[in-house]
Amino acid sequence: MGTEKIWDVIVVGGGPAGLTAGIYAKRAGLETLVLEKALAGGQLAEAVTVENYPGFPEPIPGTELGERMRKQFANLGGEFLRAEARGLRRTGELWTVETDSGELVARAVIVATGGIPKELPAKGAREFKGRGVSYCATCDGFFFRGKRVLMVGAGDAALEEALYLADICEKVYIAVRHPADDPHAIRAEAVLRERALAHPKIEFLWNVVVEEVRGDGVVREVVLRDLGTGELRPFPVDGVFVKIGYRPATDWLRGVLELDEQGYVVTDVWMRTDQPGVFAAGDVRKPVGRYAQAVISAAEGAIAGLQAHEYILDTWSGRGSY
């Protein structure tokens, strides 16, 4: 695809926010393209199962839910392109999205690039990434079958992946940076917390952080620091899985859109950014009073898609180009 075609809307990101935005934009009659550098579903593709998305009484794999969203968009005539956005610039009233597959032009852009996993802030963590340190259990869990692994994190995603790993591995430890009697120690929803606490192959390590990852080409152990006593102790494991949150994927937007100090895109309640014709939805948006949930991202995507339609009507109607 090249710059010869002018799209009405380019949606950058194929997760729940982006695909829902695409569905709503396409249903409004807009020529819509969704860009996604990986699998349809975005972070959903990393979810073993999704149990809290309305309309699905039985758990559904995240990859399947994402693919269903993509198919719904495609059935409306929307186009899906596997590409990564590298930059965004304005030319007159049009926007050019720079990608690793060339430049694409649109009247409106919806940013829904979600987040990038935060790296484990421990010595050796980066060195052993891909050699025992992983940020995706569904991607890499198979390689640790019958082994002992450590999960770092205590939110929904961490416990979901720990439960998944418990069906594969000999033992799963979960490092929690709060004491066991802290009511906020485990941030995951109650149903996941109860399953993890009751699982015979899962053991919680309370009030600790990973200070260092060690090995001899692959991970052999971590060094845990007790936050109460400061004591350091080696702890043998074959792998380390990390789910400690995400940072917004907005490096490609610096200097173009207003970002907050953490890098989130600043919008109003209608998903409008500080630039006309550019909207943002989902986990990439400044998280004021919102939760990182697929259903919320989808709702924001719907708003962004509807707002893009209104913007194009107001800006382009009567010009013979829309």
Determine which one of 8, 100, 136, 283 is catalytic. 136
- Residue 142: its H or E element: none
**Is position 8 annotated as part of the catalytic site?**
no
Backbone phi and psi for residue 137, each to the nearest 5 degrees, phi listed first:
-70, -35
Active site residue 136: yes
Neighbours of 2 (CB within 10 A): 9
Let me know the angle formed at the C-alpha of 155 by 262 and 61, rounded to the nearest 5 degrees: 105
What b/e readout covers 155-182, taking b as 16+ CB neighbours within 10 angstroms?
Answer: bbbbbbbbbbbbebbebbbbbbbbeeee
**Can you list the positions of beta strands (E) in 206-292?**
208-215, 219-226, 232-236, 239-242, 246-248, 278-280
Q: What letter would DSSP give residue 50?
A: B
- Cα angle, residue 233 at apex, residues 227 and 237 outer, rounded to 5°: 110
Measured from the Cβ of residue 278, the count of other Cβ atoms closer than 10 Å reads 25
Q: Which residue has the tokens 């995603």?
A: 157
Give the H/E segment covering residue 10: strand 6-12
Find the angle CA(301)-CA(303)-CA(308) to the nearest 5 degrees.
Answer: 95
Which of 8, 100, 140, 314 is catalytic? The answer is: 140
Tell me the C-alpha distance between 305 and 30, whole Å. 10
- Residue tagged active-site, from 100, 139, 167, 251: 139
Query: Could you tell me where the DSSP H helices lie in 137-262?
Result: 137-140, 156-166, 190-198
169 included as an active-site residue: no
The whole-angstrom separation of Cα 270 and Cα 283 is 15
Per DSSP, what are the bridge partners of residue 33?
Answer: 10, 79
One-letter amino acid for residue 36 of the chain: E
Residues with catalytic annotation?
136, 139-140
